[in-house]
Amino acid sequence: MTSSRESRLAIPDHELSWRFSRSSGAGGQHVNTTDTRVELTWDLAASAALSPTQKERAARRLRGRMVGDTITIASSTYRSQHRNREAAKVRLEELVAAAVVPEKSRRATRPTRGSVQRRLDSKKRRSDTKRGRQGGWD
């Protein structure tokens, strides 16, 4: 059985840029004095962690999350900055790893006899309905 650590993609730390701010939520007086919220930014185009094919696939699948060529992940789940940093990095690696997985090609199959029959019956019913409307005004 593989762990989630093995299934993720490893992004080098020098490619990541971090920003810290004060987090909302519980934390008492501590929350007002420390920057526990983390924003992780990663430039997909400048990364050496992915091959050109993987970059193109990730850019296509993550285009809704990207601003320019960068992906930003925010984490303020935990009260400590260290745990939020780890959570943000894990989320980024899992997101990118899922985006670079090659698509499975569709294996062609024939429609079942029942589905063909249902389609033809539906077409006949629709045809009869329209034919019934053709009568003139008597």
Confidence of residue 124 (pLDDT cuts 50, 70, 90): very high
Confidence of residue 80 (pLDDT cuts 50, 70, 90): confident
CATH topology classification for 4-99: Double Stranded RNA Binding Domain (3.30.160)
DSSP structural state of residue 32: G
Contacts 24+ apart (CB under 8 A), 43-51: 43/15, 43/69, 43/70, 44/69, 44/70, 44/71, 44/96, 45/69, 46/15, 47/11, 47/15, 48/12, 48/15, 49/9, 49/10, 49/11, 49/12, 49/15, 50/9, 50/96, 50/100
* Average pLDDT rounded to a whole number, residues 123-127: 96
Cα 97 vs. chain centroid, distance in angstroms? 10
Where in the chain are the domains? 4-99
Helix (H) / strand (E) containing 122:
helix 113-132
Instruction: Determine the pLDDT at residue 1.
Output: 41
Please indicate whether residue 4 or residue 84 has the higher confidence score (pLDDT): 84
Three-class SS of residue 112? coil
Q: pTM surpassing 0.85?
A: no
